[in-house]
Structure 1
Amino acid sequence: MSPRSVLISGGGIAGLTLSYWLAHHGFHPTVVERSRGLRSSGSPVDVRGPALPVAEEMGIMPGLRDVATQATTMSVVNAAGRQVARMAMPATSSAAGNREVELPRGDLAAVLYRAARDDAEFLFDDTIVTMRQDEHGVDVTFDRSAPRRFDLVVGADGLHSTVRRLAFGPEPGFVRHMGVYVATMPLDGPVDHPHDVLMYNTPGRLVSIHPSRGRALAAFIFRGPAITDFDHRDTEQHRRIVTKAYAGAGWRVPQLLERLQRTEDLYFDSVSQVRLPTWAQGRVALLGDAASCVSLFGDGSSLAMAGAHTLAKALATQTADPAGAFRRYETEHRTLVGPKQRNIGRAVALLIPRTRLGIAARNIAARVWLSRR
């Protein structure tokens, strides 16, 4: 076993950023990822706020800008497709100006992977099956690879974290459904509005088309109670849920639902928050959505990058005391996560009003805000 070996479960934004910074500080990171390679799909995300200095120090900002989307406005349309309100995208209207970048999640992951791959080991198409820790390390068995022992394990494996389940307990004890579901899928053909995110609302439902980087992405975001038999890996169940939720909707929804039945690249899940009293148990810690899933509204990737940087720095500073390093990381990073988790209700109310009156009020407010700019 290499000294200071760290197993990272999850090859997403959090795991890739952590692998880079751990290697930078002299650790030997191994990333295990259930998928056979980097995931190419996913909704556009922002690199902003606390993630900006992390990306700049990594030297990846030019690469991020090369794959940035060109969206500058959000246009609200009615059932006939007529624009009824218009708002600037958050990144284009922020105080940080053009330092912030919006880009497809898959492209962000690809840039991070290129930065990390030469100094980290990657095990694709595999997952952790069991973990047994003692005061000196963690014995891990995998689905495909041979068993190994690591000094530390970090779960950066998302909302449905395997590491969290094995080290902390069953998912229902920590995951809270926020009353919203989201589905996304890519679209083919040319983009009609290369700089506009189109949004169509009916009470409790939103459909959007994001131009991304020439291959548009459709999103269905809707309110709904927790589904008792929900399976986040059952694509056919997902198609049925979305189709039922959008029955009778206008605009382009019927055509989008037809495509939903055929697409092989469908993402669907509950919008949930993860809350735990602590993010570490012995030599196992959690990072990103596994520790503190925030929302679907763009902050998760930036917080994941910032948290990974904070965790790696804490471990480098307190190498001989991982428990102390985990506490330091958690204390610092919770100050960023807490306000974002508290504000999810406001974001949902803005994007998915419950009533027609609420939709009208939101549209009026958007027009007033735009007229004052």
Structure 2
Amino acid sequence: MNEYSVLISGAGIAGPALAHWLHRQGIRPTIVEQAPDVRLGGQAVDLRGLGEVVAERMGIMPRVRERIVHEKGLRYIDSAGRELATMPADLFVGDGSPVTEIEIMKGDLTEILLDLIDDHTEVIYGDRIESMVEGPDGVEVTFRSGLVRTFDVVVGADGIHSGVRALAFGPEADYVVHLGAYLGYCTVPDAGPLDDWFDMYSEPGRMLALRPERGGSAKAMLAFAATGADVDRRDVASQKRLLREVFDGMGWRAGELLAAADADADFHLDTVSQVHMDSWTRGRVALLGDAGYCGSPLTGMGTSLALVGAYVLAGELGRAAGDHAAAFARYEEIMRPYVATAHTLAPGGVDGFLPRSRFMLRMRVLSARLMHHWPMRQIVARMLDKSEAIELPDYASTSVAAMP
């Protein structure tokens, strides 16, 4: 047969990771990315548990360690910036830890992954999939630019608002579950001394946070509890107006962070949501990472899910020697337990992240202090541990391209 080909929508983390492993299996990957160029922005992301294992197998950990964001952990503070409680990065280990020792800017990890595939993967920028027609020998894809090409398989690695999912599975509202909070990010070019801590200041139902970035800048996080707020994710001006209403009169550095949000061209606001689907595959189309099983930013598992999912999907496509149906079935079977654990929120869920009363805020600080001591530390560690959800297969390279 012709060389087996896979079209991947999305050049973030999941897409390039999948392209790397597909190439290792003798499969030809192509990536299409709607952004006009490489997107190297974004907040710090956690590399933990099985995600770190996959990164080691990719051979990228030396470069990752060169670009680690040095962060001591999470620090709860009062309105004057005084420390109330801390959760150091080494307090817990494993996939479910609320803080981790390996953090890297999303843009840095994206750049590392794109460098890894530069010599073997075609990346089409400034375009997107407009329609897909599946036939017995592949999927005919029409791009917005008018280009028409056929691929054996199409993979949506295009995030929680996946266009591939909408085309192949139906409306976003059928799969995306809003958890009752909104989360915004912006860059603060000169945040002053942060002492390498991720500082978090909370008032009932709203929170401001600052975490250091590599290079001296910082990322601000602005979160608030709301189930009825109608936020147009394409209307950034209205999002910034909403933030000013929500955070009006808040203490600590609220005015400074709101001004930073106004000035940041890459400011981003979205719902805190999860993606729940009975199946991540249909015909010759599969979903990967946030597109199929986003666990929400509250879990800290997005990067690990993307890397592990890419490894398993590519490995099963290689092992199945061109039988996409068999590969997809195994992909779902292996990943389901891991995704299920990754969807489990920390105790308290959104209310734990954004307490609605001053009493609950005080209780959160008390809990954080108790976590340093036995037996609370051991109890919480067992609740958070997700490291044994699955055992990663060891895929040998099997070139489907050479098969008749």
In the aligned structure 1, how far is the partner of 2:238 from the partner of 2:347? Answer: 27
Check conservation: 1:48, 1:101, Cα contact below 8 A: yes
Q: Give 3-state SS (helix, strand or coil) of 2:104's partner.
A: strand
In the aligned structure 2, how far is the partner of 1:59 from the partner of 1:215? Answer: 28
The offset of 1:264, in angstroms, is 0.8
Structure-2 change in CA distance of 1:180 and 1:326 (3 Å): same
Query: Match for 1:330: what amino acid?
Result: E
Give matches, 1:304-343, under 5 Å: 304-343=306-345
CA deviations 1:164-217 (Å, max 9, x no partner) are: 000001111111111011100111126412411111000111111001212100
Q: Using structure 1 for the length normalisation, give the TM-score.
A: 0.94
Q: Using structure 2 for the length normalisation, give the TM-score.
A: 0.87
In the aligned structure 1, how far is the partner of 2:48 from the partner of 2:349? Answer: 17
Corresponding residue of 1:130 = 131
Check conservation: 1:191, 1:211, Cα contact below 8 A: no
Deviates more, 1:188-197 or 1:155-164: 188-197
Check conservation: 1:2, 1:28, Cα contact below 8 A: no
Given the alignment, which residue of 331, 353, 356 partners 1:354?
A: 356
Deviates more, 1:189-198 or 1:142-151: 189-198
Check conservation: 2:295, 2:301, Cα contact below 8 A: yes
Q: Give 3-state SS (helix, strand or coil) of 2:119's partner.
A: helix
Given the alignment, which residue of 353, 362, 365 partners 1:363?
A: 365
In the aligned structure 2, how far is the partner of 1:266 from the partner of 1:280? Answer: 32
Corresponding residue of 1:141 = 142
Corresponding residue of 1:301 = 303
Corresponding residue of 2:177 = 176
Superposition RMSD in Å: 2.0
Structure-2 change in CA distance of 1:135 and 1:95 (3 Å): closer
Check conservation: 1:45, 1:104, Cα contact below 8 A: yes
Q: Give 3-state SS (helix, strand or coil) of 1:32's partner.
A: strand
Check conservation: 1:139, 1:149, Cα contact below 8 A: yes
In the aligned structure 2, how far is the partner of 1:2 from the partner of 1:243? Answer: 56
In the aligned structure 2, how far is the partner of 1:78 from the partner of 1:4? Answer: 57
The offset of 1:313, in angstroms, is 0.4
CA deviations 1:78-121 (Å, max 9, x no partner) are: 112221112213x5642699x95211111111111111121111
CA deviations 1:207-255 (Å, max 9, x no partner) are: 1100121210000111111444x32222112112222221111110012
Corresponding residue of 1:57 = 57
Corresponding residue of 2:168 = 167
Q: Give 3-state SS (helix, strand or coil) of 1:342's partner.
A: coil
Query: Match for 1:273: what amino acid?
Result: Q
In the aligned structure 1, how far is the partner of 2:228 from the partner of 2:159? Answer: 19
Q: Say if 2:195 is the partner of 1:185.
A: no
Q: Which runs of 5+ in 2 are unaligned?
A: 378-404
The offset of 1:143, in angstroms, is 1.5
Structure-2 change in CA distance of 1:35 and 1:193 (3 Å): same
Q: Say if 2:191 is the partner of 1:202.
A: no
Give matches, 1:34-183, under 5 Å: 34-89=34-89, 93-94=92-93, 101-144=102-145, 146-183=147-184
Q: Percent identity?
A: 39
Check conservation: 1:317, 1:325, Cα contact below 8 A: yes
The offset of 1:43, in angstroms, is 1.6
Structure-2 change in CA distance of 1:327 and 1:344 (3 Å): farther
Corresponding residue of 2:9 = 9
Check conservation: 1:203, 1:356, Cα contact below 8 A: yes
Check conservation: 2:4, 2:322, Cα contact below 8 A: no
The offset of 1:135, in angstroms, is 2.3
Q: Give 3-state SS (helix, strand or coil) of 1:181's partner.
A: strand
The offset of 1:366, in angstroms, is 1.4
The offset of 1:33, in angstroms, is 0.7
Query: Match for 1:61: what amino acid?
Result: M
Q: Give 3-state SS (helix, strand or coil) of 2:189's partner.
A: coil
Corresponding residue of 2:393 = none
Query: Match for 1:13: what amino acid?
Result: I
Query: Match for 2:93: what amino acid?
Result: S
Q: After TM superposition, where is structure 1 displaced by more than 4 Å over at least 4 residues in a row?
A: none
In the aligned structure 1, how far is the partner of 2:11 from the partner of 2:94? Answer: 31
The offset of 1:38, in angstroms, is 2.4
Query: Match for 1:358: what amino acid?
Result: M
Structure-2 change in CA distance of 1:30 and 1:282 (3 Å): same
The offset of 1:349, in angstroms, is 3.3
Check conservation: 1:76, 1:85, Cα contact below 8 A: yes
Q: Which runs of 5+ in 1 are unaligned?
A: none
Check conservation: 1:38, 1:106, Cα contact below 8 A: no
In the aligned structure 2, how far is the partner of 1:176 from the partner of 1:219? Answer: 21
Query: Match for 1:328: what amino acid?
Result: R
In the aligned structure 2, how far is the partner of 1:251 from the partner of 1:112? Answer: 38
Given the alignment, which residue of 216, 219, 224 partners 2:226?
A: 224
The offset of 1:320, in angstroms, is 2.9
Give matches, 1:262-281, under 5 Å: 262-281=263-282
Q: Give 3-state SS (helix, strand or coil) of 2:286's partner.
A: strand
Query: Match for 1:94: what amino acid?
Result: V
The offset of 1:2, in angstroms, is 5.5
Check conservation: 1:126, 1:144, Cα contact below 8 A: yes
In the aligned structure 2, how far is the partner of 1:271 from the partner of 1:313? Answer: 31
Query: Match for 1:68: what amino acid?
Result: I
**Residue correspondences, number:** 371
